[in-house]
Structure 1
Amino acid sequence: YVFPIETDQFCRMYIYNPQDLCLLESLPWFFRLGYDSIRIEASKEGPDYVKTVTTIYRQALEAIFHEVPVGWDKWKEQLKQLSPQGVTKGHYYRGVL
């Protein structure tokens, strides 16, 4: 993998994962824990990407809230199509920060 690196105006360095972080399937767990908002980091993406991702996450959150069946497979496939490098849960579940 190639991990992109970026430096900001304060000389802080940021290392990015080449794959998009996808915690879609973790939303029910976050909801049960009492989270009332999530943040989707897409500042470097185009408007079509942002629209698709926010729509998918919004549909998932509404399905969880209203306790209706969710389309995890369909939504995850749509997210994978947006990221040519693939999607990952990253180190989120491995405990690595």
Structure 2
Amino acid sequence: MARAVAELRSWPALVLSDTRRGVTFAVRGTEILRLTGADEVQVRLTAPAIDRLEPYLLDCDQVQACRDRAWVVVHVDAAPDLELLLALASVAIKEHVA
């Protein structure tokens, strides 16, 4: 997870916060990433983005839906999972920057 944080810190659109609940990243004041465990990140994609990506996300064992339809959980266990997380973070940024 340290590698993910290091990579995301370098993205100019993201602002890192280290809160009591853990590390979060926001874009334009909206939280879009939450590190919720040693290998788990919640990503705020928005419901429309999840609907568009749903056929691909359903086939991916590393991604799970959250109760809040705007968020998904990504399990990062290996390098390909990190690449998936970074791709979904990019989608989340685009969804929150008009």
Asked if these proteins are the same fold (TM beyond 0.5), I'd say no
Larger Rg computed on CA atoms: 1
Task: Using structure 1 for the length normalisation, give the TM-score.
Answer: 0.29
- The structure with the greater share of residues assigned to strand is 2
